[in-house]
Amino acid sequence: MAHPSQPASPRPLTSARPTAPLRGKIRVPGDKSISHRALMLGALAVGRTEISGLLEGEDVLATAAALNALGAAASPAGDGRWIVDGVGIGGLGEPENLLDLGNSGTSARLLLGILATHSLTAFVTGDASLRRRPMSRVVDPLSRFGARFLCRDGARLPLAVTGAADPVPIVYRLPVPSAQVKSAVLLAGLNTPGATTVIEPQGTRDHTERMLRHFGATVITEPHEGGKRITVEGFPELAAAPIVVPGDISSAAFPLVAALIVPGSEVTIEGVGLNPLRAGLIECLHEMGADITLVNQREEGGEPVADLHARAGELIGADIPAERAPRMIDEYPILAVAAACARGRTVMRGLSELRVKESDRLMAIATGLAGCGVEVRVEGDTLTVEGKGGPPEGGAAIATELDHRIAMAFLVLGLASRRPVQIDDGAPIATSFPDFVALTNRLGGDIAERR
Ligand code: S3P
Q: pLDDT tens digits, residue range 102-125? A: 999 999 999 999 999 999 999 999
**Residues acting as catalytic residues:** 330
Q: Whose CA is nearest to atom 15 of ligand 1?
A: 178
Tell me: pLDDT of 418 over 90.
Answer: yes
Residue 10, preceding peptide bond in cis (omega within 30° of 0): no
Task: Please give the distance, rounded to the nearest whole angstrom, from the Cα atom of residue 139 to the centre of ligand 1.
Answer: 16
Number of C-beta neighbours around residue 8 at 10 A: 8
pLDDT of residue 4: 43
CA distance 28 to 362: 26
Where helices occur in 346-433 by DSSP H, the ranges are: 361-371, 404-416
Tell me the one-letter amino acid at 91: G
User: What pLDDT shows up at residue 153?
Assistant: 87
pLDDT at 1: 37
Q: Cα–Cα distance between 449 and 254 in angstroms, integer?
A: 19
pLDDT, one tens digit per residue, over 23-37 is 999 999 999 999 999
- Please name the residues in contact with 292: beta carbons below 8 A apart, sequence gap of 6 or more: 256, 260, 282, 285, 286, 308, 309, 310
Which residues on adjacent β-strands are paired with residue 87? 46
Ligand 1 atom nearest residue 110's Cα: 12
DSSP annotation of 429? G
What is the best residue among 180, 230, 351 to mutate for testing ligand 1's pocket, by most ligand atoms within 8 Å of CB?
A: 180
Q: What is the pLDDT of residues 79-89, one digit of tens each?
A: 999 999 999 99
In ligand 1, the atom with minimum distance to the C-alpha of 330 is 9
pLDDT digits (tens, 9 = 90+) for 119-173: 999 999 999 999 999 999 999 999 999 999 999 988 999 999 999 999 999 999 9
